[in-house]
Chains A and B, each alone.
Chain A
Amino acid sequence: MAEYLLEILSEEIPARMQAGAARDLERLAREALTAAGFSEAPVRAYAGSRRLTLVIDSLPAAQADLVEAKRGPRLGAPPAALEGFLRSTGVTRDQLEEIDGVYFARLVRRGRPTAVIMAEMAAALIARFPWPKSMVSGSGRTRWVRPIRGLLSVFDGEVAPFSIDGQAAGRHSQGHRVMGNTGPFAVADFESYRAELERRFVLLEADTRKARILEGARALAAGAGLELVEDPGLLEETAGMVEWPVPVMGDFDPAYLELPAEVIRTTMRVNQRYFALRKLGEGTLAPHFIAVVNIISPDGPGLITAGNARVLEARLSDARFFWDEDRKVKLEVRRDRLSGVTFHAKLGTMLDRAERLETASRRLAAYTGADPDLAALAGRLAKADLASGMVGEFPDLQGIMGGYYALNEGLAKEVSEAIAQQYRPQGPSDAAPSDPVAMAVALADKLDVLTGFFRIGEVPTGSRDPFALRRAALGVIRIALENDLRLPLGDILGEMNGGEPPAGLIDFFRDRLKVALREQGAKPDQIEAVFAIDDDDMARLTLRLRALEGFLASENGANLVAGYRRAANILAAEARKGPLPEGAPKRAMTPIEERDLHDAVAICAPKLASALAGEDFAEALRDLAELRAPVDAFFDKVLVNAEEADVRADRLRLLQAITALMRQAADFGALAG
């Protein structure tokens, strides 16, 4: 068995595209292998700042031969048809076989050499590689993310030739651009390729680069009695920017520590891709940074570290300029400038949005238990920082800066925190606000976006969700669930939309909640059983589900569901024959099991209604569980389809009463059997 190795050496590939490129490379290779009959061959792909690498193992030297029987004309068909068939298949008359009065030609398709197939695969996948952004270079026609500088294509130790824009693939690769032996080197197989690259200061695997960065950075921090502020996104990015990662530590003037920590960290991360450090045992930042550089200088890291430190100081100096300037203007004044900032062509300016948030925050305060005036003030000022210098420079700091500026003006702490937390939660790892004022504003922010975009028909489809509406809805759901808020979304969204909620929005919320519950491990049939109830309150729907889950885990619950299903089956069968009997029972009930069940339903109904009204869903289901014994006894002893019509009618009425009662808690019919 043989190995195929492909390397596409290029100029620097954006770090953010590398992981996706490795996945796409592997996928395209698998598709090509499957089409060529090599679906078993293991595929690995690697991406780094200057190269994509693909290695395929366990390949045969050639495809297996394929034998195909090609159907021709019938015996006795006109001679012209037969001649045509012979011409098109290239066989002679005596080589034809006759099966059931039809001519067949046995055609053997010779398996092609794997080297040729690999070369074709490489050329084809390069030609249709799905880079998010690509370019042409020089007089070439091939699109790639940046100019291609070298192609290595080796099958079983030999070049599998192809060419791109006149550039021929060969057996040579190159190491690090400036370190080690920088000339091209010949490659025989993947293991030697990887080893030779490493000798030339290139770490092929992203995970190795990441581990090297993390180990080095932690060691530097520990050596200085500090702790690394870990940042997985930054780690991923820096690992994509270097072939030979070398973490170095530098420092900056401690006077800059008076800036908000978020500002320092964002400046470091966004502008310079530096890691921050904090003092051991304390939460506060230390006046140091770690940069990940791509070389080991023969003079040591001093010059490089000093250069990086100088750049960071200039950046921090800029940040301090914004911080000082921004604090000279009150948020209330800054807010006026939002009239010049368009939110969306159909949804007005940011000032319009700020006005809507003020109203909505005041209204939502009633549901979160917040002081309505504080919530309204926070909503009113929430977007003012979008017109500040700092947020202009670092959009990631929106909200956070507003919080600082509010605090600086002496506004209530609840207000500053609500402004700071308005965009939360931003993702699964981000905490949802829990203070009542902050909840009101964070809800208002998301509900306003959702109402607006649904009203103008900008609804997410498939993978397209340009306004992050799914995240907004999930944010509302998390705030409601984690704080056990009752939010009648129909009323709230109706009011925000000036009448009815925008079409599809309540369902959108219910769908997001379903997805979230499934991700948390809830069973799809149980989710469906609960969502059959017309409820627009996300926290309440979740409580219903939790109660149902507890109920079904109990013995009574599981048995009662069996009883429900039996009742529902009988009713369904009867309904097919004609309308089911309605109204109250017409006769004295016998036997005793029938009367017991009738009594149990009569006792259960008011208790259930009261538990449901009190939103004690666990209690409601415990009430239903009381029906289990009489239901079981009924089915054990009583024949529903009695011969006497009046008896049968009463018993069908009883079954209808039971199923109707139970459906108030959940659609038990939706549960999997």
Chain B
Amino acid sequence: MSDRRPLSFQELILELHAYWGARGCVILQPYDVEVGAGTLHPATVLRALGPAPWRAAYVQPSRRPSDGRFGDNPNRLRSFHQYQVILKPNPPDMQELYLGSLEAVGIDPRRHDIRFVEDDWENPTVGAWGLGWEVWCDGMEISQYTYFQQVGGLDVSPVSGELTYGLERLALYVQGADRVYDLAFNDPQSPDFRTYGEVFLESEREFSAFELEFADVAALKRHFEDMEREVPRLLAARGRQGQPLVLPAYDHVLKASHLFNLMDARGAIAVAERQSYIGRIRDLCRGCAEAWVELQTTASTSGQGGGPS
């Protein structure tokens, strides 16, 4: 590692923003609907579909209710942060770009053993899969690197390259810390230094209790069914320009997905029901994906430019 002070959690994000911003990415904000992974942000799932080029980077807080440990486990969180980059089409030097981003945050590939280890990614709830790797730094997985092949059950063309950095993992590594709550959130020399724990520990404690013990299963189930009705209704509706309401419909898919995760964390999903729930969400997502692709295609053929956003 270089001579400079290791980056704080927020500096890590700012460095990545600067790095990817300089490489043509639009720097977006986290999506404001609960999701389990950065991939689910419409800036990835929907933008990966259709012919239009696209480059984006953003942080996405990712909620995994089943992973809640009430703030007791030093490494496991129910909500953590993914740094997500999508490059469409994937440029030929994407691996070098990725390695450059590691250098930018203080991980020198000449001094650390960086490896690309086979790990083919799939997300059955959004009908997406791709080939790629988990990236190891000295034996630790710090990123997921994927070339999308299908999204929403549809083949993608061109192919997008997706990078997902586990920000807490990366920060633990860069800072040499053992407990996520001990991470320096901002510069330790700053006038108001904060650790990661000071910012998020209370949230971990309360939400672990909510998600694992207090969430109302009957209500979750009702909400899930509401979402399931909303998606086809919104896809059938028409906006002022005559388009199906794909983006609002997709929001409801995300909500359904999160409700499913909550029911799962509450132990309310029998093993036999699991596949059926996943299939229901996948079907909703597929409907959105198809409508989105159609919209993209008609938009580009009718000369309206880059399509809706």
Q: Which residues of chain A have a CB within 8 Å of any CB of chain B?
A: 11-12, 14-16, 133-139, 145-147, 149, 177-179, 241-242, 272, 274, 291, 293-295, 297-299, 303-304, 306-308, 310-312, 314, 340-342
Contacts and interface: CB of A to CB of B under 8 A. Distances in A.
Interface string B1-30: 100000000000000000000000000000
B271 A341 contact: yes
A298 B112 contact: no
B120 A133 contact: yes
B111 A311 contact: no
Interface string B233-251: 0000000000000000000
Given A12-B116, A16-B118, A138 B89 contact: yes
A39 B158 CA distance: 40
Contacts of A272: 139
Given A16-B118, A147-B92, A294-B113, A135 B159 contact: yes
A277 B130 CA distance: 37
Interface residues of B, number: 38
Given A178-B114, A274-B139, A308-B139, 18 more contacts: A133-B120, A136-B149, A139-B157, A139-B159, A146-B132, A146-B147, A177-B109, A291-B139, A293-B113, A295-B113, A299-B111, A304-B113, A307-B137, A307-B138, A307-B139, A307-B140, A312-B139, A314-B75
Contacts of B139: 272, 274, 291, 307-308, 311-312
Contact of B111 (A137, A145, A274, A298): A298
Interface in B162-203: 173, 178
Contacts of A299: 111
In the A-B complex, the 8 residue pairs with the smallest Cβ-Cβ separation, listed nearest first, are A307-B138, A340-B271, A14-B118, A12-B116, A308-B139, A293-B113, A138-B89, A139-B158
A12 B133 contact: yes
B131 A133 contact: yes
Contacts of B132: 146
Given A272-B139, A303-B138, A307-B139, A137 B147 contact: yes
B185 to A, nearest CB: 21
A312 B139 CA distance: 8
Contacts of B116: 11-12
B179 to A, nearest CB: 11
A277 B140 CA distance: 21
Nearest to B133: A12
A342 B272 contact: yes
B270 interface: yes
10 contacts: A16-B118, A135-B159, A137-B90, A137-B147, A138-B159, A146-B131, A272-B139, A308-B138, A314-B75, A340-B271
A119 B55 CA distance: 36
B117 interface: yes
Contacts of A242: 115
Contacts, number: 99
A297 B110 contact: yes
Contacts of B159: 135-139
B131 A135 contact: yes
A297 B138 CA distance: 12
B298 interface: no
A297 B75 contact: no
Interface string B70-107: 00000100000000000001111011000100000000
A272 B134 CA distance: 12
Contact of B147 (A135, A149, A297): A135
A311 B109 CA distance: 18
Contacts of B75: 314
A129 to B, nearest CB: 15
Nearest to A309: B139
Contacts of A11: 95, 116
Contacts of A12: 115-118, 133
A147 B95 CA distance: 10
A138 B91 CA distance: 7
Given A138-B158, A147-B90, A308-B138, A241 B115 contact: yes
Nearest to B73: A321
Nearest to A306: B138
A139 B137 CA distance: 30
Contact of A15 (B92, B118, B158): B118
A303 B107 CA distance: 12
Nearest to B94: A147
> Which of A135, A241, A299, A340 neighbours the largest number of chain B CB atoms within 10 Å of its CB?
A135
Contact of B173 (A14, A149, A179, A307): A307
B110 to A, nearest CB: 5
Nearest to A179: B110
Nearest to B141: A311
Contacts of A16: 118
B257 to A, nearest CB: 22
Contacts of A149: 92
Contacts of A294: 113, 115
Contacts of B157: 136, 139
B120 A138 contact: no
Contacts of B94: 147
Contacts of A307: 112-113, 137-140, 173
Interface in B126-166: 130-133, 137-140, 147, 149, 157-159
B89 to A, nearest CB: 4
A14 to B, nearest CB: 4
Given A12-B116, A311-B139, A139 B149 contact: no
Given A136-B149, A298-B110, A304-B112, A311 B89 contact: no
Contacts of A177: 99, 109
A146 B272 CA distance: 36
Interface in B39-91: 75, 89-91
Contacts of B110: 178-179, 295, 297-298
Contacts of B95: 11
Nearest to A274: B139
A135 B121 CA distance: 13
Nearest to B95: A11
A13 to B, nearest CB: 8
B112 A135 contact: no
Contacts of A179: 110
Contacts of A139: 89, 157-159
Nearest to A250: B139
Nearest to A248: B113
Contacts of A137: 90, 147, 159
